[in-house]
Structure 1
Amino acid sequence: MKKILLIPILLMWPVLSPAQVMDKKTLSLEGAKKVIAAAVAEAKRLDAPGGVIAVVDDGGNLMALERLDNTFAAGANISIGKARTAVLFKKPTKAFEDIIKNGRTSMVALENFTPLQGGVPIILDGQVIGGVGVSGAASAQQDEELAIAGANASKDFAPMSSQMKPARVTYFEKEKVAEAFAKGAVLFDGSDKYMVHASRRDGPGMAEVHVRDADIIYVQEGSATFVTGGA
């Protein structure tokens, strides 16, 4: 006799094809603060006369800014512009300053573009997650040195998974599972997320169309033929 056990899991969210989504790392506020702290520490080490450090996310939006004492006021907007340019173009801003110096002056016509040395993208695992810009240090070169020190703080970022508590695991007693399969009953009902229904078949059954369910099938005795597919 054939005995087939089916466990459909009702998913409460739409199933997306892997081709339609990508994993993306995002800079947190805590991460932005660490970038600034690293840049400030480098400024103190180099005895910089001042400096404004700005950190933006991967869309160029300001996340955090710190202005050291004795830094000229305009440095705030300049540092933001450098950080935004670095992240949106995914390159250090010095590259654009050099291009313009070499004759391609038409680049200055770009909007929201600050082609001044001192902006660096923040990279984690090959992904650009933000940008840091510095203005008001001893020189353009020192601006960039502080920005690089800040961006390098990403090497010490802890992954979000290590900060999360392990997910709770639910165990079912053997007798309870056997009883559910014997009469075809709901084994677990977490309606806000998913549910587990235990059912069985001893012979051919009707065709099923599932939009949001997933079947886990075990053949315990004999053999069976499964036909899948359809529009």
Structure 2
Amino acid sequence: MTDELTLDEAQKAITAGMRAARSIDQPMNIAVVDSGGHLIAHVRMDGAIKASIDISIRKARTSILMNLPTSALAEATQPGAELYGLELTSGGMVTFGGGIPVVRNGVTVGAVGVSAGSVDQDVTVAEAVAAKLAKAPS
């Protein structure tokens, strides 16, 4: 058995995220990347803002590159803080909530990025996607 995320898993997890987004009545952009930050799957739900396509992918990439939820970077990247300017590196990182690493069997195997709602809504949907992906396939 491999710990790498598959397209099938990513699509099923995105479906779980779409259910979560519908339950809060907020269409979302949902991205899943592999352990190298490469896009596996993405969806823009009907009505989700187009600017959030790029943001969702960047949230997922930021999360895997930093091995942290993007929300953990918010305070440290404010003006005068230790990591101020981080968002300008690596092709543009996102330092607010909605990106979550996917850990399986103690190994970070990918990440999720969600955008188009409030930060809290993005995090809620990202958590649903990440929870589905964290379960190893049977």
**TM-score normalised per structure 2:** 0.89
Question: Take 1:110 and 1:72, find their aligned partners in 2: how far apart are those partners?
Answer: 25
CA contact (8 A) 1:83 1:132 kept: yes
Q: Offset at 1:107?
A: 2.1
Query: What 5-or-longer segments of structure 2 have no aligned partner?
Result: none
Answer 1 or 2: which has greater helix percent. Answer: 2
Q: Give the share of equivalent positions with the same residue, in percent.
A: 35
Aligned equivalent of 1:119: 99
Does the 8 Å CA contact 1:51/1:67 hold for their aligned counterparts? Answer: yes
1:109 CA drift (Å): 3.4
Would you say the 8 A contact 2:98–2:126 is kept in 1?
yes
Q: C-alpha root-mean-square deviation of aligned residues, in Å?
A: 1.8
Q: Equivalences for 1:1-231 in 2 at 5 Å?
A: 25-48=3-26, 50-101=27-78, 103-104=80-81, 105-112=84-91, 113-137=93-117, 139-159=118-138
Superposed CA deviations along residues 96-115 of structure 1, whole A, max 9, x for unmatched, are: 12211373223233223221
Cα distance in 2 for partners of 1:82, 1:39 equals: 15
Count of aligned residue pairs for this structure pair: 135
Q: Distance in 2 between matches of 1:88 and 1:106?
A: 15
Q: Alpha-carbon deviation of 1:47? A: 1.7
Query: What's the CA shift string for 1:119-154, capped at 9, x where partnerless?
Result: 0011111111111101102x0111011001100002
Which residue identity lines up with residue 9 of structure 2 in the other structure?
G
Offset at residue 155 of structure 1 (A):
4.3
Runs (4+) off by over 3 Å: none
Shift of 1:38: 1.3
Q: How many Å apart are 1:71 and its aligned residue?
A: 1.2
Rg larger for: 1
Structure 1 residues 52 and 95: CA distance shift in structure 2, 3 A: same
Structure 1: unaligned runs, 5 residues or longer: 1-22, 160-231
Equivalent position amino acid for 1:78 in 2: I
Structure 1 residue 116: Cα displacement: 2.4
